[in-house]
């Protein structure tokens, strides 16, 4: 087991009880909707949303890795228009001051030697504000483009584990080393310069299956859970069981985060109406169908076609995340419930990120501060 990362300047380890981030602004965000105001990853929009989140004191900007959209034969579909997370995060680091930048990497698409150096470079550019989200891959056609067909589900995590061990070694080892493993053969491997954060930048993982969760508990500092229930007592049990697994099986303390779509309006009815409008009336049907048939069937978190169907609106609204829907007060109350249930952080998504971040910063953030969940932002 590697040592925990330095607690230095990375905001992921600040004192806020409930940490906040934004998710997917290097792509189309998380909604699968046809409304015209839906976010698109132009560079001005990327910078604007990053700077709003940074100024509001958010802890994280997580860029997802997607090489191909969900719909076969439709490379122009919004689900496939994604800016490269590493180069995007390097540039976003330059446009921001305090927020952590978190690129995602699919282990089968990037050699660990290249990944170690790219991460060290972003860590240096950002002044020690990077973290790495590692995934084994769950969208078969994108890995097929690399001639790296998807391995059987749990074997993907074995590969990811060896990949990560090499990356972490490259981040600290002053000398050249050989590695002879099941998946990699490295001769006199080395990487300089080292990342600023020593012994390593934080690791993030969102494995949802039993094997994925065990991987995250063993190797990640920030683990994502898809919440299975809306009930506070169930959520508290799910989070407690997860943290207990990390501690009992691996002797580790991990942060547990989730992701949530946010619909904030002046009244609850207005918020519900807009949610129904963009995620039901204007759902992106072909994209949702393709997702269910492809990615949905690859993951072990949705174990039956019924579960996939039941999740349809959650996927349309925000990639399967939880809902934060209502007035600023409703949203603050829900976030308090999640925090009281043991949650350490939430990645937020909106249909229109600029509008959403403005509303959230004006309406919800002051309530989170008055509830003691967060300190006021330094730039507020």
Ligand X SMILES: Cc1cc2nc3c(=O)[nH]c(=O)nc-3n(C[C@H](O)[C@H](O)[C@H](O)COP(=O)(O)O)c2cc1C
Nearer to ligand X, 13 or 64 (CB): 64
Site pattern 149..188 for ligand X (x: CB under 6 A)? ----------------------------------------
Is residue 20 a contact point for ligand X (CB under 6 A)? no
Give the DSSP letter of residue 4: P
Within 282-301, which residues bind ligand X (CB under 6 A)?
A: 299-301
Nearest residue to 204 (alpha-carbon basis) of 347, 53, 379 = 347
Site pattern 59..98 for ligand X (x: CB under 6 A)? -----xxx--------------------------------
Is residue 268 a contact point for ligand X (CB under 6 A)? no
Structure-token pair, residue 23: 């998710």
Nearer to ligand X, 62 or 120 (CB): 62
Is 114 exposed, middle or buried (CB count within 10 Å of its CB: 0-12, 13-18, 19+)? middle
Nearer to ligand X, 265 or 344 (CB): 344
Residue nearest to ligand X (CB): 212
Nearest residue to 313 (alpha-carbon basis) of 351, 283, 286 = 283
Task: Return the sign of the alpha-carbon dihedral for residues 380, 345, 240, 228.
Answer: positive
Among 55, 122, 206, 282, indicate the residue that binds ligand X (CB under 6 A). Answer: 206
Stretch that binds ligand X, among 10-18, 137-145, 338-346, 351-359 (CB under 6 A): 137-145
Is residue 208 a contact point for ligand X (CB under 6 A)? yes
Find the angle CA(139)-CA(140)-CA(142) to the nearest 5 degrees.
Answer: 75
Cβ contacts of 195 within 8 Å, gap of 6 or more: 119, 120, 123, 124, 128, 130, 171, 201
Site pattern 212..251 for ligand X (x: CB under 6 A)? x-----------x-x-------------------------
Q: How far apart are CA 255 and CA 252, in angstroms?
A: 10
Is residue 317 a contact point for ligand X (CB under 6 A)? no
Is residue 53 a contact point for ligand X (CB under 6 A)? no
Among 259, 278, 350, 353, indicate the residue that binds ligand X (CB under 6 A). Answer: 259
User: Torsions phi, psi of 10, nearest 5?
Assistant: -70, 120
Structure-token pair, residue 94: 């330059």
Nearer to ligand X, 126 or 139 (CB): 139
Is residue 360 a contact point for ligand X (CB under 6 A)? no
The least CB distance from residue 37 to ligand X, in Å, is: 23
Is 319 exposed, middle or buried (CB count within 10 Å of its CB: 0-12, 13-18, 19+)? buried
Three-state secondary-structure class, residue 372: coil
Q: How far apart are CA 160 and CA 152, in angstroms?
A: 13
Among 202, 207, 296, 326, indicate the residue that binds ligand X (CB under 6 A). Answer: 207
Query: In Å, what is the CA distance from 358 to each residue of 37, 104, 221, 253, 337?
Result: 15, 26, 30, 34, 23
The least CB distance from residue 246 to ligand X, in Å, is: 15
Nearer to ligand X, 29 or 212 (CB): 212
Residue with tokens 């501060």: 369
Is residue 109 a contact point for ligand X (CB under 6 A)? no
The least CB distance from residue 250 to ligand X, in Å, is: 17
Interface residues with ligand X (CB under 6 A)?
23, 64-66, 104, 106, 135, 137-139, 206-209, 212, 224, 226, 259, 299-301, 347
């Amino acid at each position: 087991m590697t040592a925990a990362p330095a607690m230095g300047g990375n905001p992921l380890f600040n004192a806020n009880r409930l940490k906040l981030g934004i998710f997917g602004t290097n792509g189309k965000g998380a909604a699968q909707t046809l409304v015209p105001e839906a976010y698109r990853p132009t560079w001005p929009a990327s910078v604007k949303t990053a700077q709003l989140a940074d100024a509001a004191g958010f802890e994280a900007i997580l860029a997802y890795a997607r090489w191909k959209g969900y719909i076969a034969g439709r490379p122009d579909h919004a689900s496939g228009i994604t800016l490269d997370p590493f180069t995007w995060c390097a540039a976003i680091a330059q446009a921001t001051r305090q927020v952590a930048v978190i690129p995602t990497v699919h282990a089968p698409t990037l050699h660990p030697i290249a990944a170690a150096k790219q991460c060290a470079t972003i860590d240096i550019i950002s002044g020690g504000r990077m973290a790495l989200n590692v995934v084994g891959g769950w969208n078969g056609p994108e890995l097929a483009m690399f001639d790296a067909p998807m391995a059987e589900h749990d074997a993907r995590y074995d590969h990811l584990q060896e990949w990560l061990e090499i990356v972490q070694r490259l981040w600290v080892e002053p000398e050249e080393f050989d590695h002879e493993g099941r998946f990699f053969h490295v001769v006199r491997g080395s990487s300089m310069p080292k990342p600023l954060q020593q012994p390593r930048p934080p690791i993030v993982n969102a494995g949802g299956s039993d094997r994925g969760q065990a991987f995250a508990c063993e190797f990640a500092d920030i683990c994502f859970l898809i919440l299975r229930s809306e009930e506070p007592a169930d959520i508290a049990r799910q989070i407690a069981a997860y943290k207990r697994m990390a501690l009992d099986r691996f002797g580790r303390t991990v942060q547990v985060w989730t992701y949530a779509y946010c619909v904030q309006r002046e009244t609850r009815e207005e918020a519900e109406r807009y949610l129904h409008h963009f995620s039901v009336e204007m759902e992106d049907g072909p994209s949702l169908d393709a997702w269910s048939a492809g990615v949905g069937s690859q993951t072990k978190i949705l174990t039956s076609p019924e579960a996939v169907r039941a999740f349809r609106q959650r996927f349309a609204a925000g990639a399967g995340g939880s809902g934060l829907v209502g007035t600023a007060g409703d949203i603050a109350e829900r976030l308090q419930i999640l925090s009281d249930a043991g949650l350490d952080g939430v990645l937020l998504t909106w249909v229109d990120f600029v509008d959403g971040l403005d509303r959230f910063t004006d309406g919800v953030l002051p309530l989170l501060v008055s509830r003691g969940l967060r300190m006021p932002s330094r730039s507020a």
